Amino acid sequence: MGHTASALERTGGLRGRTVRNTDQDTFSEPINARGGATYSKLRLAHSNEDCAVGTDVLCQTTIATPVNMHGIGLHKGTMVHLVLKPAKANSGIVFRRTDLSTTDRAVTDIPARYDSVTDATMCTTIGNAAGTKVATIEHLMAAVSALEIDNLLIEVDAEEVPVMDGSSDAFIALLDQVGQKTLEAPRRFIRVLEPISVEDGLRKGTLNPCDDGLRIELSIDFDNLVIGKQDLALDISAESFRRELSSSRTFGFLKDVEMLRSLGLAKGATLENAVVLDGDEVMNEDGLRSPDEFVRHKTLDAVGDLSLAGAPILGCYQASRAGHAFNNQVLHALFANPDAWEYTTRRHQGGSPVENTRLAVSAD
């Protein structure tokens, strides 16, 4: 399937999460179970296509300048300082803890990738081999990926990203403050080649080939009069994300919030950062932002979760009753099957991407 083997030079220290080739680029790659080793790593072969001003190959991006914000963390309830910094091409999205007593990057840094996820029960938490963690990354990741930002260093001085109002709005506003910078490297896309289906009890989902971009079709079904059955199908773009998803808030039930608080969790959870339901009643004074805010938020979550593939996905994700853990299972299933996906670049003509070019991938 177009995977050609070539020698790779490994670098130590990061437990094989990073593959460095002998030229210059460092990639964080999806771990791929090809080749019979415990794990093997893939890297992008050098593309023949240049990404420079004046060509029509879609280029990678980062933000133009650093930008920062403060906000309360959902679980600890303490103030968190978040700084977003530009990053070089092919470095991906990396979280860095700045409150630790070391600057050893193997300890402080966590790549925002599906195989860094350590817990996805309440929110999405990523961690590294040193045991460093960052929780509640999903609404920030959804904003970053929806705005098509490929490379970013995200510094946090706590174990969680600020929850803000429980939606992606504050992060979109933050990213809009600084704008973007185009980098001279082609943007890689992950093109789904074969359907990947996952079933986990009542949760079901399939990632299907679809060359035009990322499309998400979700349905939820809650035994609750306010939520009930809701579904939404949306082609994900910066524009559709801003219009349809960004402002939808996370939601929870009062009984669960009380239970979490008794365990010392959700200390920062208030009606300011979540829709809270008491039985069949919305407790927030201003009510919902849209009658289907719940499925919109689940779709926002899926955008963030799927961004942990490490590159934008060209595929259609159809799922019912999916949550963070399920979305992560789907990515694991995708990357467990090397024939089910490939890297591509895309060209744009007249403003819209029209052509995918398969990139050879080397595996060790």
User: Which residues form the interface with Zn ion (CB under 5 A)?
Assistant: 250, 301
Partners of 319 in beta bridges: 205, 218
Angle, in degrees to the nearest 10, between helices 138-146 and 293-306:
80
Report the nearest approach of Zn ion to the CB of residue 27 (Å).
28
Angle in degrees, CA 86, 87, 88, rounded to 5: 135
Report the nearest approach of Zn ion to the CB of residue 348 (Å).
31
The DSSP H or E segment spanning 7 is none
Q: How would you label 248-261 residue by residue, b for 16+ Cβ within 10 Å and e otherwise?
A: bbbbbeeeebeebe
Tokens of 95: 């979280």
Tokens of 335: 């990357």
Give Cα 272 distance to the centre of its chain: 24
> By C-beta, is 169 or 301 nearer to Zn ion?
301
Q: Please, are residues 79 and 70 in contact by the beta-carbon 8 Å criterion?
A: yes
* 131 burial level (CB within 10 Å; 0-12, 13-18, 19+): exposed
> By C-beta, is 218 or 363 nearer to Zn ion?
218
Report the nearest approach of Zn ion to the CB of residue 275 (Å).
11
Q: Which is nearest to 43 in space by CA: 310, 363, 357?
A: 363
User: Please, which residues have CB within 8 angstroms of residue 130's CB and are 6 or more apart in sequence?
Assistant: 104, 106, 107
> By C-beta, is 130 or 319 nearer to Zn ion?
319
Report the nearest approach of Zn ion to the CB of residue 163 (Å).
9
> By C-beta, is 151 or 250 nearer to Zn ion?
250
Report the nearest approach of Zn ion to the CB of residue 60 (Å).
26
Compute CA distances 342 → 174, 207, 209, 215, 335, whole Å.
32, 14, 11, 18, 10
Partners of 275 in beta bridges: 251
Which of these is catalytic: 139, 297, 324, 332? 324
* 28 burial level (CB within 10 Å; 0-12, 13-18, 19+): buried
> By C-beta, is 123 or 185 nearer to Zn ion?
123
Report the nearest approach of Zn ion to the CB of residue 142 (Å).
8
> By C-beta, is 250 or 273 nearer to Zn ion?
250
Q: Is 324 a catalytic residue?
A: yes
What is the set of active-site residues? 324
